[in-house]
Structure 1
Amino acid sequence: GRLAQLAEPTVGIITNIGSVHMEFFESHEQLARGKGELVAALPESGLAVLNADDPFFPLLSRMSTAPVMSFGFEAGDLRGEHYAAATEGGCEFTVQDVAFHLALEGRHQARNALAALAAGKFAGVGLEEGAAALANVFVAHRLQEHKTSKGVVIVDDAYNASPESMLAAFETLAERPKHGKLFAVLGPMAELGALAIESHQRVGRRAAEVFDAVAVLDSELGSVLADAAGAHLVPDREAAVMWVKNNARRGDSVLVKGSHSAGLDEVVKELTK
């Protein structure tokens, strides 16, 4: 609440209620109420932009002191339809018969675009204008591709990680046409509290389904993830680099992702220098 009081926002956007910061809350509902302090601080003349696909949408809607505009793919005032991974990269979908093509990949990024469109509509930006503005949006370190001198594609998503963003990255890569093998170098996820073990197991199980091989940076939670994924544990970042160099060949792709504290951006730098 204090941050909202300082900033005095007119528009508040809550994209979803995930698991990050659960270390500081006793339940998901408490976490949702904490995020909901943003929309509770909005003026009646403002706008709350909320994800209609999120299970906490009803709670957040009740907390808002401003009118609510919802977005989503299953429901919402601004509803995305016909989502698909674009063959030339990025993704495609429609909103009220207006076609969108994003350079960003993944359903999660398309959903973020819907939230931006809702805020834009409040500011007088129409859907066609919004489609043009969003088409070439680029976010560094979010599934950003680098090709090594050996022809291996390094997919840099190393800035941070949560269970939701891990699974979103996996699904995005699984949507792509497959060229070569798909590898992953993963780190642990922080600030999950009581959900930490289950979350690492869930992410590990899905990693085993998506990737041809996985390496995980060794730690207490890294071991949990590795066990669930049937992955190779590496003791440090240098060993992770060597694992990639020893296993990935021309045409293969390697996702690098973990919490910021894991420092996997150094793995990306070493592999792409």
Structure 2
Amino acid sequence: MTNTSSNNTAPAVREISEQAAQAAVMVAATSLRLPTVREQAVDLARAGAKQRLSHTAFLAEILTAECDERDARQRIRRVNEAKSPRTKRLADFDTTRVADLPPATLAHLAGGAWIDAGEPLVLLGDSGTGKNHLVIALGTAAAEQGRRVRYVTTAALVNELVEAADDKQLSRVVARYARLDLLCLDEVGYVHLDPRGAELLFQIITAREERASIACASNAPFSEWGATFTDPRLAAAVVDRLTFNAHIIQTGTTSYRLAASTRTIDRKEIIPA
């Protein structure tokens, strides 16, 4: 006797009205948390009928729309979570002003392979030379690619760590920073850190060493970092960790902001009132 398996039986499909079908789609999409399916199912079904799509092709269309919209929402969420202080884009950065940053190097950094490899990035240069722009823009690009990113100034991070230590929450905060794919640490060397703050910052750097990337910007050469970290041995250890397998870019001494201001003044002098 032949044993007929229920697995070979086609699933039962019952006939329902168009109105009932639409209502069922709305309920199911809400239950499954598929907002794009809920919003676009009817319109896509009508378009699919006009194009005589197969049921499988229509299913592919609606699921692809849901995935695309979910990816877009995730990119927006990642960018917001990065907490960048302002909007900066790599497309707006003038690489001709930085001899140490040819377009090919910028394209490589924008791709994010260095982040996946856990390599550091150090930007060194005077104020107004584009370090802040690059740190924010690279962080934004990484976030839009789905990576977990956080921008923070050195002073703000140290203050957060001190408060966490006082509240006996330091390990939790260090672990949170360790989970980031990219930590954008701005204004290294701008403020003097007391020994406790310097040691707490060192914990963050050590927790990410050779595992997760740090992109930092400083207006001071490495030889002057001892003034920030007070302890010469600690300063040397920080430099060692941030430069191992690192991308180091000198942004120079010519200020973008000063040049832009000069051009504005020149235009005002040329154009009659």
Q: State TM-score, norm by structure 2.
A: 0.26
Instruction: Considering Cα pairs closer than 8 Å and 6+ residues apart, tell me whether 1 or 2 has the greater RCO.
Output: 2
Q: Which has the higher helix share?
A: 2
Which structure has more strand as a fraction of its residues? 1
TM-score for both structures, normalised by structure 1? 0.26
